[in-house]
Amino acid sequence: MLAMRAFEQRGLARHEQAMAGLGEVKVRLATNAIRLDALSQRVEQMPMRDADAAPARAAIHELTAEVGLLGDLIHQVATTLADHENVLARLPEPAAAAPPAAAPEVVLDPEAARRARADKLAAERAAAAAAEREEAEAERAALIGKALGEGRIEVHLQPIVSLPQRRTSGYEALARLRLDESTLLLPHEFIETVETRGFGPTLDALVLTRALAIARHLGSKDGGIFVSCNFSRATWGSSRALATLTRILDKYREHSGHLVIEMPQAVFRELDPTSLGLLGAMSANGVRFALDQLVDLRLDPRALFDRGIRFVKAPAALLQAHVEGRIHSDIDAGDLAALLARMSITLVADQVEDNPAAADMIELGATMGQGLAFSPPRPVKPEVFAEPEPTPAPAAAAAPLPVPAEAARPPQNIVDRLLGQDRRVPAPPALPEAAPQEARPERLPFRAVLRRASA
């Protein structure tokens, strides 16, 4: 017993030492994040040209994103240790010395005793089932955290079509989590665990980088097609997480014109001034926003436009309920599209499940639609995420002949470019007889120059 007690004390000491180390790492990460922010502000204040300051800003943004991801990983390690500690606490303690045999109890009411035994057995079964559920939830959370740490996020795209033509105007990026080769989790199967365990910023950073890769691919095509993505509620409520995503967007500013960020209506109404300021910074970089998950039609189009919102995604069931009179509001569903269009905001009918619902949305004036009536979500082709290959430099037609410095000037027209090796140059000064005279460059006929240039 003394040996077991000493072993337990050593285990507790090591656990406390590990938790103290994790706390020290978190403090150091926070200090480094503050230093990076101060360094970023100093770089912004330095009198440098944009071309000279761009590499420093890019390096600072990458370090900030890495510090944020490292903080999330440290949080995951601390959460996993806490889960293990809870599991160990529920293990049965070693059996002590057998208690003395109790005297037999005199049963006066056999039916009451039977009910008491049944209640006790039911309570034990319920406790065992609750313990199994907690253990399964902890194991599931560990698997989800490991998958997020390894970046096993897949993106499926669902088209957003124009109405009534049904031409693709954009896509919504829907996240899927790959646990193993045969298990792919849908958002409703892991979002709650992600938000509860604090993995929301990590998930949003992974989805945003993939959405920016898709936006880069869409930017190489004509038509102005966009891609939209969602952030978790924890990210919208954390100004630090929003600042990290803002830095990522600032780094890939050239692709932000093809990106739309969706925000639930309830979250939009609860944003604090700091988050609203970061929203304005994203909008200044060219990012457009969409109001998603509408619960009512109490909208102020001018205020939405001032916050950078250019799309309003209303569920088809909500619009149909207003038309049928089951829900009453100050704005008529038939006037919503025209009211939003006056402020350059597009009404998107969301969750359109069949063709009759699509016809109803067209009658209500919806400009765009999304749902199973048009197309289900489909996985993204791997080549979309591939880095663009650099444009190969054209091969030289022939080795350039040495020309004097006076002739090394840019040609003025296409004839000069074709005849660059056949220009007449001033004769060099006379050399002493002892020194050998330099050989003049070989003159090529015009046909030979054309043949080499077109080879």
Q: Distance of CA 303 to CAs 183, 285, 368, Å?
A: 43, 19, 22
Structure tokens given for 307: 């916050």
**pLDDT, tens digit, for every residue of 150-173?**
888 889 999 999 999 999 999 999
Question: Between residues 348 and 276, which one has the greater pLDDT?
Answer: 348
> Is there a contact between 168 and 224 (Cβ–Cβ < 8 Å)?
no
Residue with tokens 């095509």: 221
Q: How does residue 319 score in pLDDT terms, banded at 50, 70 and 90? A: very high
pTM of the model: 0.59
156 phi and psi, to 5 degrees?
-110, 145
- Across 244-258, average pLDDT: 85
Task: Of 207-211, 257-261, 346-350, 421-425, give the lowest mean pLDDT range.
Answer: 421-425
The answer for residues whose C-beta is within 8 angstroms of residue 346's C-beta and 6 or more apart is 310, 311, 312, 340, 367, 368
Q: In which residue are the tokens 């959460």 written? A: 79
**Confidence category of residue 399, pLDDT binned at 50, 70, 90:** very low
178: helix, coil or strand?
strand
d(CA 150, CA 211): 18
| 280 and 236 Cβ atoms separated by less than 8 Å | no
Residues with Cβ within 8 Å of 287's Cβ and at least 6 positions away in sequence, in order, are 249, 256, 259, 260, 261, 308
**pLDDT tens for residues 321-344?**
988 888 887 788 888 999 999 999
Q: Identify the pLDDT of residue 226.
A: 93
Q: Over 80: is that where the pLDDT of 229 sits?
A: yes
Which two three-digit tokens encode residue 155?
A: 């993106």
